Structure 1
Amino acid sequence: MKIWIIAALIFSTTQIAKAQQITIGTFNIRYDNPRDTGNLWVNRAPVVSNLIRFHGFDVLGVQEAYKNQLDDMSAALPEYDRYGKGRDDGNDGGEHSAIYYKKSRFKLLKSGDFWLSETPEKPGKGWDATCCNRICSWVLLQDLKTKKQFYTFNVHYDHQGVIARRESSKLIIKQINKIAGNAPVLLTGDLNGGRDSECYQELATSKLLLDTYTKVQFPYANNASFNSFSTPRGQAVIDHIFMTNSFIVNKWGILTDTYYGKYPSDHFPVLAEVELK
């Protein structure tokens, strides 16, 4: 009888540990560009979805996704729900910084979006950005088993405006404090800046957010996170996962999956395994 009790306790402890663990990811999936000869979305779509399923992301922030791409992924991944508005008009227009989450595990409590500009409540370009509106989408999720809640913010910074990237980080900190308060927060995104950039440093030294990469002993960081559909060069990482100190990190890695010698996107996804303390 005692053996059964011990076994039950071990099983229960294991299940609780699993329930606390969250596999969080960030993945710039490359927009559906008809000029990407040899790397068209119609060919990459099933590979991207297979990658997401295989690596078991619980929550995943994607960037550069048009609505048709999100719809393709949702059709292939019915185990996930998603949230995120289009950056052009706050509806379906333009690229999305959408967030996918496993609907069997999490309940969506709140959600929203803001733009990276001086007027974050409405669509528009900010500071020295010349090309595009940039949007940050966020969700408040509740674990159905543990009832614990946490926020996830997902963003894609401007690729041209240095001031825009720096000011975007300041805005992100301000908005996280305003929206999430003292609640646990995960931030995923393509910052278009490495760890030596101003925009990264604004976040990493903010005393609010920690780079998950810096909190693991053996990060799986064998190359850069941007590949341009060709052999990646250097070690620069522009795709990041941040957290508040409510989390601990067990794993961090850049996933360099291929198919027939090709890459699913011009960015590699980044994965972190975290736990709520």
Structure 2
Amino acid sequence: MATTAVVGAVAAAATAPAAAADEYATAEPDDGRRPLRVMTFNLRYASDTRPNSWGERRPAMRQLLRQEAPHLLGTQEGLYGQLQDIATDLGPHYAWIGTGRAGGSRDEFAAIFYDVRRLAPVEYDHFWLSDTPYLIGSKTWGNTVIRMATWVRFRDLGRREVRGGASAESVRSGGGEGGGSAWGSGEFYALNTHLDHAVQYSRERSAALINDRMGKLNPALPRIVTGDFNVAAHKNPVYEAMLGGGRLVDSWDAAGERSAQYGTFHGYHPLVPGGDRVDWILTSPAVRTRRAAINTYAMRGQFPSDHLPVQAVVEW
């Protein structure tokens, strides 16, 4: 387990989350499966540059996150103080794991927030997207910006272990998970990353490294990968590399239902219907995505970030 991580357990009290704006946060049918609400969100690093300074954006960010109440939230670009603000705004039921890409609290994070009522971390680690992945702050593939990934093995507190071929929850719902599969253990991996914005070679090497590192994790456990990949889905070799060989599927394409599509990077300009998705939630093939959404929330015209959050309701 890495020793450089900042693990943020939230102590500050906050008001309860507002009711969800749509079915994303309320899509939990009473069938015992307890779907997991997942979000990936490039936060846009905190700055004082108006009209989209962090001080101006924070109220919209707070309202959005309280409204959607994700169980699992992969963030990109957040600075340490900004992540502390978000932790405070989310309230005492959330904690987070991450480390600055320059080490400790320095530079941007690829942090993972989680609802402690639903998820408990079992182990975690970080690696840098370079030829020396365990050298803090390393970059060797032509990118001038440090890039990294954080992963966590979670225990899902909303599931029960499989005994005798079926979980207690699946028995109540009339279903079954034959054979005592490890999928019933209630554990899974979450990996969060942010690939380079400029160098394709770096992105391709990064995708290969992420695949290699995930291949060394317990193959019996499902995966959820969140990130800003800085390339459009279906339009770049990086996308094919991440999904190649059936390792992962795109939750957007696999979803039983989905919202309207917009370009997920808008740069505070008018939204682009049908635009490119550069922010993805990928999952193991056997993970079912009930619903996927690109959230266009703004508060009185103020977007929380220069990216739109991408969400999925998943189960296995």
Matches within 5 A, 1:1-277: 14=30, 16-17=32-33, 19=34, 21-35=35-49, 37-78=50-91, 79-89=93-103, 91-123=104-136, 124-130=138-144, 132-147=145-160, 148-195=186-233, 196-233=235-272, 235-276=275-316
Q: CA deviation at 1:71?
A: 0.3
Q: What is the CA–CA distance in structure 1 between the aligned matches of 2:217 and 2:126, rounded to whole Å? A: 11
Once the two structures are superposed, what CA deviation does each residue of 1:105-142 show, in whole Å capped at 9, x if it has no partner? 11111111001111111121131212x11110111111
TM-score by length of 1: 0.90
Counterpart amino acid of residue 135 in structure 1 = M
CA contact (8 A) 1:219 1:253 kept: yes
Once the two structures are superposed, what CA deviation does each residue of 1:241-276 show, in whole Å capped at 9, x if it has no partner? 000123101001100001111211000000001001
CA contact (8 A) 1:126 1:133 kept: no
Q: What is the CA–CA distance in structure 2 between the aligned matches of 1:100 and 1:206, rounded to whole Å? A: 29
Q: CA deviation at 1:15?
A: 5.7
CA contact (8 A) 2:57 2:302 kept: no
TM-score by length of 2: 0.79
Identical aligned residues as a percent = 30
Counterpart amino acid of residue 228 in structure 1 = G
CA contact (8 A) 1:46 1:76 kept: no
The secondary structure found in structure 2 opposite 1:51 is helix
CA contact (8 A) 1:128 1:162 kept: no
Q: CA deviation at 1:206?
A: 3.5
The secondary structure found in structure 2 opposite 1:165 is helix
Q: What is the CA–CA distance in structure 2 between the aligned matches of 1:275 and 1:188, rounded to whole Å? A: 16
Q: What is the CA–CA distance in structure 1 between the aligned matches of 2:289 and 2:159, rounded to whole Å? A: 19
Counterpart amino acid of residue 22 in structure 1 = L
Q: CA deviation at 1:45?
A: 1.6
Counterpart amino acid of residue 285 in structure 2 = N
Q: CA deviation at 1:181?
A: 2.8
Q: What is the CA–CA distance in structure 1 between the aligned matches of 2:123 and 2:257, rounded to whole Å? A: 35
Once the two structures are superposed, what CA deviation does each residue of 1:40-83 show, in whole Å capped at 9, x if it has no partner? 10121232122112112110100000000000011111221100
Where does the alignment leave 5 or more consecutive residues of structure 2 unmatched? 1-28, 161-185
Q: What is the CA–CA distance in structure 1 between the aligned matches of 2:218 and 2:237, rounded to whole Å? A: 24
The secondary structure found in structure 2 opposite 1:70 is helix
Number of aligned residue pairs: give it.
259
Where does the alignment leave 5 or more consecutive residues of structure 1 unmatched? 1-12
